[in-house]
Structure 1
Amino acid sequence: MTYSPQRLDGLRLRHIRLLKLIDELQSLRAIGMVLSRTQPAVSQMVKDLEYALGATLVERSARGVWLNAAGQLALQRARSGLASFDHLAAELHASQSPVLRVGTNPALLFRMLPATMRVLGKESADMRFRLRTGIVGDMLQSLWDGDLDCYAGRIDWDQIPQRMIPVLRHEPLFRTDLVIACSIRHPLAGRENIGISELADWPWVLPPVHSNNRIALEREFRNHGLAGPEPMMDISADLAALMILAREMDVLTCVPRFMLDTHIAAGELCVPNVPSLQLPPIQIGFVTLSEHEEMAALQSLRDALRQAAAELDEVDR
C-alpha cells in the first residue's frame, strides 16, 4: 500500500475520530450507529484512511475490528491533533485571548514560575494560562495526548517511553541536586558521616512510589544492598506538605535542593551528612511536541523560563 498525499488531502476530521472509535468500540456496526452511517460506509472510511496513510491500520475477524501496531501509532498521534482542535474550538467560542495549557511539577510553583511571570511582565497580560501540576509521567502523557501544550519540569530521559522521544522538543533550563532533608532539630542534623543503613531506622514522609524522586531514592538504597525506606506517609505531588512535615516532625524526606531556599523551608530544614548517599541530579527542562514548537505563545513562555532560570542561578551563586 502506497502513501498518497492527494488522498491525505481528502480526509476529514471524522476519519481521524474513526481511529478512536475503533479502539473503543471494536465493532463497525456500533461505530456506524455513533456516526449515523451504514456498516459498509464505515468500512469505506477505514479504506480511505488506510489508502491515504499508505498502511494497514485495522485488523478484522468474526469477533470485530481492532487497531494493529500501525493503527495504535496513528491513534496516538491523532489524539494530540483532536485535543488541539477541541481546545481551539472552545477558545474561539469563548472569544477571549488564547489559553496556554501548561503542565509542571509542584516544585516549580515556588520560585521558577513566579520568576517567569515577572519576566513576561506586561506581555503576560495578553496571555492566559491553564496550569496543571503532577508527577512527571502524568504530565508527559497529557502532553502526548494533546491535553497540554507544554511541560516545564523534571526530565528523566531513561523513563520516557521511546515512542515519545522523537516528537518531543526539549529546552534545558537548569539542574539541581536531589537531597535528603530533615529538621535542623532532628537527631541526625549536624552529625558527621551518617551511614545509609542508619537512615532506614528513621520515619520518612515521601512522594508516592511511582514518582521519579521516590524511584531515585529507592534505587540508591538498592545499590547499597538495602530495601528502600517504608514511609509512615506518602503524599501525592505536594512538596510543600513533605517539607512542612519534615520541618515540624522528626522525619526524613527527599526533595530537590533548591526547595530548601523557599519560604516553606524557612531556614528550618537541612541536609544530613551521608557521604555514601549519591542521589542523581535533577534536570529541569521545557518540553513541547514538535508540531507545537513554533507557537508564538510557547516561544514567549520558553524564552521567559530560560531567562528566569538564568536569573535564579545567578542569585543562588
Structure 2
Amino acid sequence: MLQSSPHLDHLRLRQLRLLELIDRHKSLRAVAEAMNLTQPAVSQMLKDLEYAFGATLVERSVRGAVLSPVGRVALQRAKAGLAIFDQLALELRTDKPTVVRVGTNPACLYKLIPSALRHLSVSDADIRVRLAAGTVGTMVSGLLDGELDCYVGRVDWATMPVPIADLLRYEPLTETGLVVACSVDHPLASRHQVSAAELAGWPWALPSAETNNRSSIETAFRNCGVPAPLPAIEVGADPISQLCLAVETGVLICVPRVLLETEVAGNRIVPLVTPDLSLPPIRICFVTLHESDHLPAIHHLRSALMAVCEGDSQGARSDGRATIIAGDADSP
C-alpha cells in the first residue's frame, strides 16, 4: 500500500473514530453493530483507512481484530486530533476568548504557574486558562488523549514508550528537588544530619503508591540498603496536606523543596540534612503534542513560563487580565 495525499483528504471523522471502536470491541462485527453498519461496510472503511496511511493498522484473525503496534500509535494521534477538533468546534460556537487547557502537578500551582499567569496577563488579555492538577500519569494521558492542550510538570521519559514520546514536543523549564522535612517541634529538627536508617524508624506521611514522588522516596531508601518506610498516613491528595500533617501529627514528610517556601510551611517546617539518602532532582518541562505546539495561546504560555524560570523581572508584574477557570487537584 502506498500513502496517497488525496486518499488522506477523503478520510472522514468516523473513519478516524473507527480505530477506537476496534480497540474497544476487538471485533469488526461488534464495531459494525455499534456504528449501525454492515460488516462489509466497516471492513471497507478500515481498508480505506489503511490505504490512506500506507500501513497495516489492524491485525485480523479468527479470534477477532486487534490494533497493530502502528495502529496503536495511529489511535493515539487520532484520539488527540479528534479531541482538539471537538474543542475547536466548541470554541467557534462562542464569542469567548480562547481556552487553554493546562495540566500540571500540584506542586507547580504554588509558585511557577501563578507567576507565569501574572506574566501572561501583561502580554495577552484574550486567553482563559483551565487548570487541572494530578499525577504525572493522569496528566500525560490527558495530553495524549487531547483532553489537555499542554502539560507543565515532571515527565518520566525512561518509562514512556518511544513511539509515544515521539508524539510530544517538550521544553525543559526548571528543576527542583525532593527534601525530607519535619515540624520544628519534631525531635529530629535540631539534628545536624540524620541517616536513612534513623529516618526509616519514624512515622511518615507519604504520597500515594502510584505517584512518582513515592517511587523516588522508596528507591532512595533501598539504595541505602534500608527498607522503605511504610506510611503511617498515605496522602492521595494535594501535597500541601503533607505539610499540615507534619505540623499537626509529628510525621516525617518528603516533598518538593518549593513547598517549603509556601505560607503554609512558614517557619513551622524545617528540612532535614540526609547525606546518605540521595533523592533525585525533579525536572519540570513544558509538554505539548506536536500538532498543538504552533497555537498562539500555547506559545504565549510557554514564553511566560520560560521567562519566569529565567528570572525575567516581568514575571513579577501583574495587571490581573488573565482569567483562571477552576480545575481539579490530585496527588503529585
TM over 0.5: yes
TM bucket by the smaller chain?
A: over 0.9
Where do residues 47-126 of structure 1 align in structure 2 (5 Å cutoff)?
47-123=47-123, 125-126=125-126
Q: Deviations over 1:23-63 (max 9, x none)?
A: 11223333223333222111111110111111122222334
What's the counterpart of residue 280 of structure 1? Answer: 280
How many pairs align?
A: 315
Residues 120-141 of structure 1 show CA distances to partners (whole Å, capped at 9, x for unaligned) of 1244542111111011121111
Root mean square deviation, CA, Å: 1.9
- SS at 1:219's partner residue? helix
Which secondary structure state, in structure 2, belongs to the residue aligned with residue 163 of structure 1? helix
Distance 2:252 2:165 in 1: 35
Q: Report the equivalent of 2:160.
A: 160
Aligned ranges for residues 119-268 of structure 1 at < 5 Å? 119-123=119-123, 125-268=125-268
CA–CA distance in structure 2, aligned partners of residues 37 and 160 of structure 1: 37
User: Residues 4 and 226 of structure 1: is their aligned pair in 2 closer, same or farther, counting only changes over 3 Å?
Assistant: same
Letter matched to residue 187 of structure 2: P
Partners of 1:237 and 1:166 in 2: CA distance: 31
1:295 aligns with 2:295: yes
> What residue is the counterpart of 2:325 in the other structure?
none
Do the aligned partners of residues 314 and 118 (structure 1) sit closer, same or farther apart at CA in structure 2, a change above 3 Å counting? Answer: closer
SS at match of 2:208: coil
Structure 1 pair 267–259 and aligned structure 2 pair: CA distance change class (3 A):
same
**For 2:169, what is the secondary structure of its paired residue?**
strand
Of the two structures, which has the highest relative contact order with CA contacts closer than 8 Å and spacing of 6 or more? 2
Give the TM-score normalised by the residue count of structure 1: 0.93
1:2 and 2:2 aligned: yes
Structure 1: any 5+ residue segments left out of the alignment?
none
Q: Contact between 2:184 and 2:270, CA under 8 Å: does it hold in 1?
A: yes
Q: Secondary structure at the match of 1:66?
A: strand
Between structures 1 and 2, the one with greater helix share? 1
1:30 aligns with 2:35: no
Structure 2 CA distance for partners of 1:312 and 1:161, relative to 1, 3 Å: farther
Question: Is the deviation greater in 75-84 or in 89-98?
Answer: 89-98
Counterpart for residue 44 of structure 1? 44
Q: 1:259 is paired with a residue of what secondary structure?
A: helix
* Residues 113-171 of structure 1, C-alpha deviations (whole Å, 9 max, x = no match): 11111111244542111111011121111111111110011233223332222222111
> What secondary structure, in the 3-state scheme, does the structure 1 residue paired with 2:163 have?
coil
Whether the 8 Å CA contact 1:192–1:274 is kept in 2: the answer is no
1:105–1:237 Cα contact (<8 Å) kept: no
Cα contact 1:183–1:249 (8 A) shared by 2: no
DSSP 3-state at the match of 1:114: helix
Distance 1:297 1:111 in 2: 21
**Aligned residue type for 1:96:** K
The 1:155–1:63 alpha-carbon spacing in structure 2 relative to 1, beyond 3 Å, is closer
Residue identity in the other structure for 1:65:
A
Secondary structure at 1:189's aligned position in 2?
coil
The answer to whether the 8 Å contact 1:168/1:288 transfers is: yes
1:11 has 2:11 as partner = yes
Look up the equivalent residue of 2:129 and give its one-letter code: F
Partner Cα distance (2:276, 2:178) in 1: 14
| Partner AA of 2:102 in structure 1 | V
Q: Verify the 8 A CA contact 1:247 1:269 in the aligned structure 2.
A: yes
What CA distance in whole angstroms lies between the structure 2 residues aligned with 1:39 and 1:101? 38
Q: Determine helix, strand or coil for the equivalent of 1:132.
A: strand
Label 1:237 to 1:306 Cα distance change in 2 as closer, same or farther (>3 A). Answer: farther
Aligned AA (1:244)? C
Identity over aligned residues, as a percent?
50
